[in-house]
A = this chain, B = another copy of it.
């Protein structure tokens, strides 16, 4: 039985994250004992989208400018179309993501979440998946893209969409508990 007692996990997201792709992993991680912090571009609340409509918000625990990789065991990147489009344009967010790869710490990214990995320069040679619309960009960045519900290559675990969440959550808990 995997446990994440005494592990602190960072979830990096901003306005426009896909609601289920943040809430479901957060619940699954907390259910096995992890402490989870929501990291974003600004303090306060960030607003989710559900089926392309604005939906419930979540409280931000720390801004990415103030967050440091050394305080966390692992990183989760939810999707949503607008969320990673904003994150990948923020230098602090891109550096924060890159620092988990530099440290060899486990990272889970789902749907459009992997877009930020392109800007962090960390997908070259990685076998991975994503929402299909991003596949060409990942391949052009050097990834080997496959249409599978969950793929782990080294420290990186990826999934395609909200339907993959059960497999994604199970896998990241396994990886994050190693």
**Residues of A at under 8 Å CB distance from B?**
15-16, 52-54, 81-82, 85-86, 88-89, 112, 118-119, 132-133, 136-137, 140-141
Contact = CB atoms under 8 A, between A and B. Distances in A.
Contacts of A112: 85
Contact of A133 (B53, B85, B141): B85
Contacts of A118: 136-137, 140
Contact of A132 (B16, B89, B132, B141): B89
Given A118-B137, A118-B140, A136-B118, A85 B89 contact: no
A1 B45 CA distance: 51
A52 B82 contact: yes
A93 B68 CA distance: 42
A89 B130 CA distance: 13
A16 B52 contact: yes
